[in-house]
Chain A
Amino acid sequence: MKPVLPLHGVMAEFDNPTEFVAAIHAVKSAGYEGFDAYSPMPIEEAAEAMGLHGNKLPLMVLCGGIAGFCCGYALAYWTGVINYPLNIGGRPLHSWPAYIPVLFECTVLFAALTAVFGMLGLNGLPKHYHPVFNVERFALASRSRFFVCIEATDPKFDLEDTKRFLQSLTTVEVSEVQP
């Protein structure tokens, strides 16, 4: 026998970005926390409505950059002053202006790597399975349609209530998302 898994959530479909953004605002103000929105193109207002801009990634990138700066400095200092001191044109061994290109490169490298891997870490990609794809029409999320999915893990989630709530927001379709 197949084990019975709880429902993943309820999903509403929208055919235009205006209703979509309005729906996100409505879901948010109705008190739902565990929800996600899907759109075929980046919509600044949608990200704003979901409050996505306050995430930790910029801070992580900043820390990555600072770490890169420190590592670069340590590398340049260790090679130039401690491990292999070399008199170049009578300059002091600790000639920081010569470090600047290295420091810049290391800062950018560490910051960029932090941005890529931090992004993957935070959004959980790559993922080999996600229940939202059980809704057949969800394939349109990469073409022309917009989706909002309220997940069953949300404390406010109630199958009938949430379904009715989403139906009041959209003119297209509301469907249950199988696990």
Chain B
Amino acid sequence: MAESKFHASDFELAPDHVLRRWRLPALAIGCLALAASLVGANTSPTQFYQAWLVAFLYWLGLALGSTAILVLQHITGGRWGATIRRPLEAAAATVPLMALFFLPIVIGLPILYEWARPDVVAHDHILQQKLFYLNKPFFLARAAVYFVIWSVISRQLVSWSTEQDVNGECMKRARRVEFFSRAGMMLYVLTITFAAIDWGMSLTPHWYSHIYGLVFGIGQVLTAMTLMIMVTAMTADRRPMSLVATPERFHDLGKLLFAFVMVWGYFNLSQFLIVWSANLPDEVPWYLDRTTGGWQVLMIVLLIVHFFVPFGLLLSRSFKRNPRTLVRVAALLLLARYLDLYWWITPAFYPGHFTIHPLHAATLIGIGGVWTWAFLTNLARRPLLAFNDPMIALELEKA
């Protein structure tokens, strides 16, 4: 067994590890940027809420995408999942923090969403018909339900995983984890669909797309996977992580990243092709708003950095097996994820007119700094490997 060769302390993030040292600087930068955002919120509140929404959805993607992958790897099994389980759990445990960052959206609701402005609704017959769903109390109640569900999923899985470190592997618990994860996966897909409709699609309340939620979901999973690859590559330089994070595991993670990139492209194309083919006046404006007045440049950049470049690079086997090269494409995709959300959300406020504001950078860094601090703190708190997992124990025994 693993205990004979390693102590639990061997699996902890080394005291001088760069990820440990980044915690306080991240928090400091985040707080500074948040302070700057609040100053900006005084002078231009509209831009603040608009920027906050994009930044919030971006960092939420890391927390929730990690929860989704965590649930997925508990269902499917496999060594790749056991290898990245701890970083996944560290990111999933930040869901309650993201609930805190949702509060500005609650405050800025009438500024962001036109269905929350009674004067607009009074003159809009369609919005009056949608009032039973798109109204403030129900919107907030739904948001509360989403955050409760997500927090329960991540909290429960993290606590079972910690139990495994202390008490060892137990069949009864393993079965419970798997059952819970199946329910969790269904709940994730349902809640992310509704959350995406509430927070993103209702910005253009006349427009609808059935695949909107899934595009959001795969975006989150993709975002989380890029982070997991980067963290695994950064921790794989020392024993015992290096025994587990082998080229085979990076190959697995690279293949998954490749698959997620393709699913992202597939979902996006599905929506586009249906809207384009039908060519209906209540559907096409969404694309017209995003392909005119400068937005088309962002769209072309997105197609290149979010699809064609990663697709081409990830085709190569040796590229996926080498952590150094894989990390580069992961970093590119992590950046592309923000551009994608920006292209999805911001044109709703500025249709056909490309706009960017310094508050976008401030909110992105603000939430991001605090989030990174929380993530790294979670990561440093527990062993980097779920060493009692049978898969991991097997790998360590071989070494």
A: residues with CB less than 8 A from B are 44, 53, 58, 62, 89, 91, 97-98, 100-101
A100 to B279, CA, bound (A): 17
Q: Could you say which residues of chain B place their CB within 8 Å of the CB of A91?
A: 279
Known contacts: A53-B317, A58-B317. The answer to whether A97 contacts B279 by CB under 8 A is no
CA distance A146 to B290 in the complex (A): 60
Partner of A100, one of B273, B315, B317: B273
B10 within 8 A of A: no
Alpha-carbon distance between A44 and B269 when the two chains are bound, in angstroms: 36
Could you name 14 residue pairs across A and B whose Cβ atoms are closer than 8 Å?
A: A44-B248, A53-B317, A58-B317, A62-B315, A89-B279, A91-B279, A97-B272, A97-B273, A97-B276, A98-B273, A98-B277, A100-B269, A100-B273, A101-B273
With both chains docked as a complex, state the minimum distance between the C-beta of B251 and any C-beta of chain A, in angstroms. 9
Using A58-B317, A62-B315, A98-B277 as known contacts, list a sample of 11 further A-B pairs with CB atoms less than 8 Å apart, ordered by residue number in A: A44-B248, A53-B317, A89-B279, A91-B279, A97-B272, A97-B273, A97-B276, A98-B273, A100-B269, A100-B273, A101-B273
Q: Mark B262-291, 1 if CB is under 8 A from A, else 0.
A: 000000010011001101000000000000
**Nearest chain B CB to A13 CB, angstrom units:** 24
Nearest residue in A to B278 (C-beta to C-beta)? A89
The smallest C-beta distance from A70 to any residue of chain B, in angstroms, reads: 17
Secondary structure at the A interface, as helix, strand, loop or mixed, is helix
Size band of the interface chain B makes with A: under 10
Distance of A44 Cα from B279 Cα, bound (Å): 51
For B248, list chain A residues within 8 Å (CB).
44
Contacts of B317 in A (CB 8 A): 53, 58
**A101→B248 CA distance, assembly (Å):** 33
Chain A residues with CB under 8 Å of B279's CB are 89, 91
Residue interface mask B61-98, A partner, CB < 8 A = 1? 00000000000000000000000000000000000000
Contacts of A89 in B (CB 8 A): 279
**Complex interface: chain A residues within 8 A of B277 (CB):** 98
Q: Return chain B residues, CB-CB under 8 Å to A58.
A: 317
Q: Which residue of A lies closest to B277 (CB)?
A: A98
B316 nearest CB neighbor, chain A only: A58
Expressed in whole angstroms, the Cα–Cα distance for A89 and B248 within the complex equals 51
Q: How far is the CB of A101 from chain B (nearest CB, A)?
A: 7
Quick one: closest A residue to B279, CB to CB?
A89
**How many angstroms from the CA of A100 to the CA of B317 in the assembled complex?**
26
The interface residues of chain B lying within 8 Å CB-to-CB of A100 are: 269, 273
CA distance A91 to B279 in the complex (A): 10
Alpha-carbon distance A53/B273, docked complex (angstroms): 38
- Complex: how many Å from CA A138 to CA B315? 37
Contacts of A62 in B (CB 8 A): 315
B151 smallest CB distance to A (angstroms):
39
Least CB distance from A108 to B in Å reads 11
Please measure, in the bound complex, the distance between the C-alpha atom of A151 and the C-alpha atom of B317, giving whole angstroms.
30
By a CB distance below 8 angstroms, the chain B residues around A97 are 272-273, 276
